[in-house]
């Protein structure tokens, strides 16, 4: 079995399994799995009741990973996330009690309801795959994925995510409302009980690790790399943008494009792979200028405009 087939096979099996619960959202499911395979973290921004929690639970059950949910609230402390050291009177030593972040798939529900200090407790874990508590560093599980959700409508009692934290999410996606036929299918699927009860594991954590290694073998030509950098540079020079995509954004688009190519059955990247994931990987990293914000300029529209203006590289003979 080729490296590309390993990735494609794994994503297709998990997608088909998760679709038993999350109906009509194949693209969103695949984008979540791409983030997982690229060893990144995902921000899901949508209104309540669209299945964000079910998506995280379904993927965790499908790949046999441990799962924990953290419901963020304004009174939550950083130790509620990372854990705390407790003094044991019998041994007369401090023992570390790990928090809910020490698992393989973490659902950070309504992350923008926590204070910036508590939000920052996730930064080290997301970037360096480790957490430091009382001067001692603890390694995170492998695989490790943070699925964070936030409500874009209700802002009362929330704390906007700092740019440094938003930049650590490899992608931001939106589930959106289901189509009419899909919503009817959702009603039919829950006549007796919720379908997540019957969901079975279809991929092992070892197979996921194998897919994560396989996606790194997908070839990307120097022209495609230059194309990615040109797109990121164009966002920085856009007149309506105060702060453009960072080099971490270029790296995110580089990684996800290779995973998307593997999902499409190719062991090389084409410009269409870059275009397919430019919006979810770059839009949330842009900070719109105050004057453009008054005109309701949307970051996703800016990325689409950038894709329309940046020259697409042509084909060339292999060396």
Strand partners, 67: 105
pLDDT given at position 101:
92
The values of phi and psi at residue 317, to 5°, are -70, 140
* CATH number for the domain running over 3-213: 3.40.50.300
Regions in the chain scoring below 70 on pLDDT: 1, 154-157, 315-319
Nearest to 41 by CA among 102, 104, 100, 99: 104
Q: Where in the chain is the domain with CATH 3.40.50.300?
A: 3-213
Burial class of 93 by CB neighbour count within 10 A (0 to 12, 13 to 18, 19+): exposed
* pTM score, whole prediction: 0.88
pLDDT given at position 113:
87
- pLDDT tens digits, 223-249: 999 999 999 999 999 998 888 899 999
Q: Where in the chain is the domain with CATH 1.10.8.80?
A: 218-309
Is 114 within 8 Å of 72 (Cβ atoms)? yes
pLDDT given at position 33:
93
CATH of 218-309, one of 1.10.8.80, 3.90.650.10, 3.90.1150.200, 3.40.50.880: 1.10.8.80
CA distances from 282 to 161, 226, 233, 300 (A): 16, 16, 11, 8
Which residues are within 8 A (CB) of 210 and not within 5 positions of it... i.e. 6 or more apart? 6, 10
Please give, one letter per residue, the 3-state secondary structure of 35-87: HHHCCCCEEEECCCCCCHHHHHHHHHHHCCCCEEEEECCCCCCCHHHHEEEEE
């Amino acid at each position: 079995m080729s490296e590309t087939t390993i990735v494609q096979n794994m994503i297709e099996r998990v997608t088909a399994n998760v679709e038993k619960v999350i109906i009509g959202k194949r693209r969103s499911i695949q984008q979540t799995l791409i983030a997982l395979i690229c060893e990144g973290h995902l921000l899901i921004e949508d209104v309540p009741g669209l299945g964000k929690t079910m998506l995280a639970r379904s993927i965790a059950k499908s790949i046999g990973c441990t799962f924990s949910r953290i419901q963020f609230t304004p009174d939550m402390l950083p130790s509620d996330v990372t854990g705390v050291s407790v003094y044991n009177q019998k041994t007369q030593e401090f023992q570390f009690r790990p928090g809910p972040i020490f698992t393989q798939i973490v659902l950070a529900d309504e992350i923008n309801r926590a204070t910036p200090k508590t939000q920052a407790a996730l930064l080290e874990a997301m970037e360096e795959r480790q957490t430091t508590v009382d001067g001692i560093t603890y390694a995170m599980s492998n695989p490790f994925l943070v699925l964070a959700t936030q409500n874009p409508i209700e802002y009362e009692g929330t704390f906007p995510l700092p740019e440094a934290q938003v930049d650590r999410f490899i992608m931001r996606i939106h589930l959106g409302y289901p189509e009419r036929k899909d919503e009817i299918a959702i009603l039919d699927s829950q006549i007796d009980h919720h379908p997540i009860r019957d969901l079975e594991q279809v991929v092992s954590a070892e197979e996921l690790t194998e897919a994560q290694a396989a996606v790194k073998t997908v070839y990307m030509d120097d022209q495609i790399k230059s194309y990615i950098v040109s797109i990121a540079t164009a966002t920085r020079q856009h007149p309506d943008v105060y702060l453009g995509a960072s080099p971490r954004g270029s790296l995110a688009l580089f990684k996800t494009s290779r995973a998307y190519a593997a999902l499409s059955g190719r062991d090389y990247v084409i410009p269409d792979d870059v275009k397919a994931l430019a919006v979810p990987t770059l839009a949330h990293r842009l900070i719109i200028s105050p004057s453009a914000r008054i005109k309701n300029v949307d970051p996703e529209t800016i990325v689409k405009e950038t894709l329309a203006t940046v020259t697409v590289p042509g084909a060339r003979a292999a060396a």
